[in-house]
Amino acid sequence: MSRTLVLQQQPKDKMWMPALHWQWAHQAHTYLEDIRPGLSRALIHGVVAGATTVYVGSRLYRRYQARRRIEERGNQARQACEKLRQKLRNYADLQKEEMIVNLSIQALQKQLQSGELKAVEVLIAFQRKEQAQQLDLLPPEKRGPLHGIPVSIKESISLKGYDCTGGLQALAFQKMERDAEIVQVLKNLGAVPFMRTNFPQGLMTFACSNPIYGQTLHPLDSKRGPGGSSGGEGALIGGGGSIIGIGSDIGGSIRIPSCVCGVYGLKPTAGRIGSKGHYAVGSGQTLVKLSVGPMARDMGGLVLATKAVLSQEHCKLSPLLPPVPFRNEIFEKKNPMRIGFYTKIDGLQSHPGGVRALYQAKAALESRGHTVIEFQPPLNLSAFFELYVSAVFGDDGKEVRKYLKVLDWWHLADKIQAYKDEFLEAWKSKELDAVIGPVTLFPAVTCGKEEFFFVSLVATTLYNLLDYPAGSLPVTAVTEEDIVKVNDSTSYPLTGLFEKAVKRDSAGTVGLPIGIQCIGLPYQEEVVLRLMQELDAALQSM
């Protein structure tokens, strides 16, 4: 029996009661009258009222317990952050620490005796030195390609000894017994996971807040969000707090934060990088699969991280992954590419700054000898709602097998495959090597307004549905001229609710980053990265 609380049509004197309990109370009332015809009506009502009190009280208590767990876990996280800030404030003088560890024993003893140095300062200086030396003592031939590089990790990716909450109180305080596959790979490569980053509750929106950790803000505008669901990574890297991070993407969750925060990100083909140990998004749903991928401050960092992770060691650690290490021979090709180009999706208008960014990218690629042609892919709102949304959100919070009949699920799978065939035929008919297009259709959104932009997810989600690799890179920033065009119906027609929402939210966006995405065929991450790197270099030189 469902435990969802909804109000049904009930007698007027019982309208306050949850439908489930009213039904139970009515059955109990009838039962008591059946077994004890002589029982007084007042006593029967008393029993039912008592049961009602117990039921409602128990539900209120469970809600109280849930809120308390959320507050307790959130406070724990905030206290840990404050402790780290205090430690960094108190011991950020690295020159002093370097001086301490290089003192002779006599000089060290003298300064400790005089009080010039505190014992805790000396202890911390030597602890830091010892920790760093564990890596530095490794001989060069045993150092991994990410040796000593700090890497931030999205909180939905398991880290041994820490909980992996998904923003849900029910998962708080459940410490993971092992690292996720990607974390194991990073550690084997010499990287140092040093920080965990925020995301929206359940990871199924491009907002970035949850009841446990709160709201993450855009690094350039505290009134706006960093995108999601890997928004914590986007904000941290965009704000200079990390050089490389690991996010995940089932609908744009790497590309959207990368785009709006002005950083670089890659959504690989699902399964090219292991996702085992990630919070279970849509457990039981396999038609649209999650991808784990890198995000970085610059293009060089994205290439380095991807090359390192797509290693033979990763394939050995995860034997179910396709044994396809990074293919440098594809990445380093110099032949001219044939690239598709589009600015609209099924009538949805891209922000004027986004259109400008795409034409700027087109010109940059053509300056490098590549051919860029107009390509209108079969990306449409029908595919978004009927295929992607049906597959990913079709369970309405329950496991898919409990919501859809098996036959319905098979029909949906058939439709998705037909759409994949249609898209691939359109791609092949133009003889394309890759495609460039918009990521978000707008810059960073004001916190709390994300729901008005939901439909624009068509720009990213359909590449998850298709399972094509796609990367986002920054191209330009919003200008005053872009704002003028947004407010001019001749250059930016207000054809729907989405365009009207973009217009309302455009004030104050000057200077915010705008990016584009580069798309390749499945398992062609090397082509995507090559295109991104060449485009980035061309833009830098223009």
Q: Which residues fall within 8 angstroms of residue 279, CB to CB, at 6 or more apart?
A: 156, 157, 158, 164, 165, 166, 171, 203
Q: Please name which of 264, 235, 239 lies closest in space to residue 536, comparing C-alpha atoms.
A: 264
Please say if the pLDDT value at position 355 is more than 60.
yes
The two structure tokens encoding residue 95: 């020159």
Task: Identify the pLDDT of residue 314.
Answer: 87
The mean-pLDDT minimum among 3-7, 178-182, 482-486 falls in 3-7
Residue 325 to residue 308: CA distance in whole angstroms: 9
Run of H or E including 371: strand 371-374
Mean pLDDT of 291-308: 96
Q: Write out the two tokens for 480.
A: 């005053």
Strand 338-341 vs strand 371-374: parallel, antiparallel, or unpaired? Answer: parallel
Q: Which amino acid, one-letter code, is at 506?
A: S
Does domain 72-323 fall under CATH 3.90.1300.10? My reply is: yes
Confidence of residue 9 (pLDDT cuts 50, 70, 90): very low
The answer to whether the CB of 462 falls within 8 A of the CB of 384 is yes
Structure tokens at 187: 């550690």
Decide: residue 402, CB within 10 A, 0-12 exposed, 13-18 middle, 19+ buried: exposed
pLDDT band at 286 (very low <50, low <70, confident <90, very high): confident
Class (C level, CATH) for 327-541: alpha beta
Domain definitions of the chain by residue range? 72-323, 327-541
Q: Could you tell me if 166 and 173 are in contact, meaning their C-beta atoms sit under 8 angstroms apart? A: no
Average model confidence (pLDDT) across the chain: 85
Query: Do the Cβ atoms of 292 and 318 come closer than 8 Å?
Result: no
Looking at the chain, the whole-number percentage of residues with pLDDT higher than 70 is 84
pLDDT confidence bin for 408, thresholds 50/70/90: confident
pLDDT tens digit sequence for 215-274: 999 999 999 999 999 999 999 999 988 889 999 999 999 999 999 999 999 999 999 999
- Active site (annotated) includes residue 209: no
Q: Per-residue pLDDT averaged across 45-55, rounded?
A: 66
- The pLDDT of residue 492 is 93
72-323 and 327-541 agree in CATH topology = yes
User: Which residue from 282, 397, 422, 279 is spatially nearest to 3, judged by alpha carbons?
Assistant: 397
Give per-residue pLDDT as tens, 57-72.
Answer: 777 777 888 888 888 9
pLDDT in tens, 26-44: 555 554 455 555 555 666 5
Whether residue 14 is predicted with pLDDT greater than 50 in this model: the reply is no
What is the C-alpha separation between 145 and 471, in angstroms, rounded?
22
What's residue 93's pLDDT? Answer: 62
Alpha-carbon distances of 339 from 101, 517, 520, 531, rounded to whole Å: 56, 12, 10, 9
What kind and span of H or E run contains 306?
Answer: helix 299-309
- What is the tens place of the pLDDT at every residue in 105-151? 778 788 888 888 888 777 777 756 655 666 777 888 888 898 888 89
Rg over CA atoms, the chain? 28
How many Å apart are CA 204 and CA 248, to the nearest integer?
A: 11
Specify whether the CB–CB gap between 254 and 266 falls below 8 A. yes
Among residues of the chain, what percentage have pLDDT more than 90? 56
* Whether 2 is catalytic: no
What residue numbers does the annotated binding site for substrate cover? 203, 229, 250-253
What pLDDT is attached to residue 528?
A: 98
Cis peptide upstream of residue 2 (ω within 30 degrees of 0)? no
Between the alpha carbon of residue 504 and those of residues 249, 256, 344, 350, 498, the distances in Å are 28, 20, 20, 15, 10
Q: How confident is the model at residue 22 (pLDDT cuts 50, 70, 90)?
A: very low
- At residue 44's C-alpha, the angle toward residues 41 and 45, to 5°, is 85
Which residue in 526, 478, 472, 502 sits closest to 252, CA to CA? 472
Q: Is the pLDDT of residue 98 over 80?
A: no
Higher pLDDT, 296 or 169: 296
What residues form DSSP beta bridges with 327?
Answer: none
CA–CA dist 5, 20 (Å, integer): 7
Cα separation values, 355 from 453, 467, 470, Å: 17, 25, 18
User: What local confidence, expressed as pLDDT, does residue 120 receive?
Assistant: 75
What residues contact 134, with CB distance under 8 A and at least 6 apart?
Answer: none
Task: Decide if pLDDT at 280 tops 90.
Answer: no
154 given a catalytic annotation: yes
Q: How confident is the model at residue 90 (pLDDT cuts 50, 70, 90)?
A: low
Helices 41-90 & 19-35 angle (0-180, nearest 10): 150
For residues 178 and 161, give the distance between their C-alpha atoms in angstroms, rounded to a whole number. Answer: 8
- 152, 156, 209, 229: which is the annotated catalytic residue? 229
Q: What is the pLDDT of residue 12?
A: 40
Catalytic residue among 209, 242, 248, 253: 253
Query: Looking at residues 362-383, what average pLDDT do you find?
Result: 94
Residue range 312-340, pLDDT digits in tens: 888 888 888 999 999 999 999 999 999 99
pLDDT of res. 37 = 52
- Summarised one tens digit per residue, pLDDT across range 478-512 is 999 999 999 998 999 988 899 999 999 999 999 99
pTM as predicted:
0.82
**Amino acid occupying residue 394:** G
